[in-house]
Amino acid sequence: MRKKTTSDELLLAMVTGADPVYHPNTGQRISDGETITLSPSARAGLEAPRFCQLCGRRMVVQIRPDGWEAYCSRHGTVDSSYLDRR
């Protein structure tokens, strides 16, 4: 796997199901106490996030036939294959 940053913060946040700080589809900051609704496919990890849920940066997203990879320059890479295990 390519690694441009050593951070795995974003991966950890998504694998553990931590509450996002920024909406992964719109990049908008989520205010305290607000619950966000993700589409079922996004929740299942089928839909690639467009924005880093930790910092709201637009991520570099690569769609593959079998999934996706999203990269935040600060928080690292998330690969959809990591989110399949449940």
49 near 24, Cβ under 8 Å? yes
Considering the complex, state which of residue 52 and residue 78 has its C-beta at the smaller distance from Zn ion: 52
Residue in this structure with the two tokens 């600060």, named with its chain if needed: 74
Q: Is 72 in the site for Zn ion (CB under 5 A)?
A: yes
* Binding residues with Zn ion: total (CB under 5 A): 6
Would you count residue 55 as binding Zn ion (CB under 5 A)? yes
Nearest to Zn ion of 40, 62 (CB atom): 62
Going 51 to 57 to 63 to 68, the CA torsion angle's sign is negative
In the three-class reduction of DSSP (H, G, I as helix; E, B as strand; rest coil), residue 81 is classed as helix
Nearer residue to Zn ion within complex by CB, 54 or 83? 54
